[in-house]
Structure 1
Amino acid sequence: MIALTQTSLDKLEVIFKDLGYRLRFEKGSFRTGACTLQDSKVIVINKFSTVDMKVQSLIQILQTLPVDETLISEKLRSFYQQIKQIKLSI
């Protein structure tokens, strides 16, 4: 089980950076999501979401993306392996 904490959020941010995605924390009345804008990988996170919602959303997005695990730093590969094995209900 992955803790829904700031530490997990920080690890997820590094994983997305390793994979070439840019995370943007924006304010607004929208749901967190991933999109590709003119061939750039951007994930927009609702700035006002709680930490646990941010972590859950990023895990859900990460589980739907094609991932080249060799791009993820060795330090975070075991964390990514844990993510691959969980089921989330948001």
Structure 2
Amino acid sequence: MAVKYTKHFLDKMENLFAASEYILRYEKGNFKSGYCVLKDTKIVIVNKYFPLEGKINALVDIINELNFDPKDFKEKNNQDFLSELRQTSLKF
């Protein structure tokens, strides 16, 4: 699956987090990687000043790091989207 740098694609990724047990927040901060994952409290913080492309890249990295399981999601569209997303690797 190719990563699409559109607002719609970002919305789909945000919906994935909304359906998970993690809370996604956009806040200012000087994170070295552009994001911070607080695993104990299940909060994900992404730099709010990132452009659209940066937010999407950060969320793809986080989803791969957290190892979301498609079976944990009730909605079929979230399961399918996550399955496709897990096959994605960012190339710089």
Q: TM-score range by the shorter chain?
A: 0.7 to 0.9
The residue identity in structure 1 corresponding to 2:10 is: L
Partner of 2:67: 66
Once the two structures are aligned, what percentage of the paired residues are identical? 28
**2:59 matched to 1:44?**
no
The answer to whether the Cα contact below 8 Å between 1:18 and 1:71 also exists between their aligned partners in 2 is no
Q: TM-score, normalised by structure 1?
A: 0.84
Q: What is the root-mean-square deviation in Å for CA atoms of aligned residues? A: 1.6
Partner of 1:56: 57
**2:19 matched to 1:32?**
no
The residue identity in structure 1 corresponding to 2:14 is: E
The size of the alignment, in residue pairs, is 88
1:27-77 C-alpha deviation (Å, 9 max, x unpaired): 2333213122xx320000111001111011101110111323123221222
The answer to whether the Cα contact below 8 Å between 1:2 and 1:82 also exists between their aligned partners in 2 is no
Q: TM-score, normalised by structure 2?
A: 0.82
The residue identity in structure 1 corresponding to 2:59 is: L
Look up the SS of the partner of 1:23 in the other structure: strand
**2:87 matched to 1:85?**
yes
Partner of 1:11: 12
Unaligned runs of 5+ in 1: none
